[in-house]
Amino acid sequence: MGRFGDWLLLLAGAAVAVWWLARRFDHWLHEPPGVRLRRIAQKSGVAEDETVLLLRDNGFDVLSGKHKIPLGVAIDGAPAQQTRLFFDYLATKEDKYYLVKLERARQPIDWTPSGLRERLLVYALLFPDCEGIIIADPKDKLVRTVRFQVGDDEE
């Protein structure tokens, strides 16, 4: 009779594990947009500086600042080498999320469509729930929003 009880406990444990995994998958599947961004926003605080004040003056609520996203790059099957991708702030306006990059003198932004694509498209692809990418220039008191649209190429 002991063997029957062991099997019964094993089956009950397996059923509980399958139920828990199904619930986690369902929760992940029906997660509202922006959950990943809200998790990022909870990781760090915001220091009051001229950029934060500039963004607030333009109607943005700054949620967090100074983020780095770790990435691995593998070439021809070699072990992945680590690198990082940085953005300066995460902001929200009218319940929409925006990544914020600062305009820096040592890395000026090429404001042509191809220049913006090369520099900022990776952020739009990593965070599709974002409404756009804000380029803030605290020195000149400018805030510009960049959005990417994928469409048909009309020739």
Averaged pLDDT, 12-24 = 90
* Average pLDDT for 8-20: 89
Q: Which CATH class is domain 35-146?
A: alpha beta
The reported pLDDT for the residue numbered 34 is: 57
The domain ranges of the chain are 1-30, 35-146
pLDDT, tens only, 120-139 = 998 888 888 889 999 998 88
DSSP the chain: -HHHHHHHHHHHHHHHHHHHHHHHHHHHHTPPTTHHHHHHHTT------HHHHHHHHTT-EEEEEEEEEEEEE-STTPPPEEEEEEEEEEEEETTEEEEEEE-BTTB----SHHHHHHHHHHHHHH-TTEEEEEEEETTTTEEEEE---------
The pLDDT tens digits of the residues spanning 66-120 come to 888 888 999 998 999 999 888 888 888 998 889 999 888 888 888 999 999 999 9
User: Structure pTM?
Assistant: 0.67
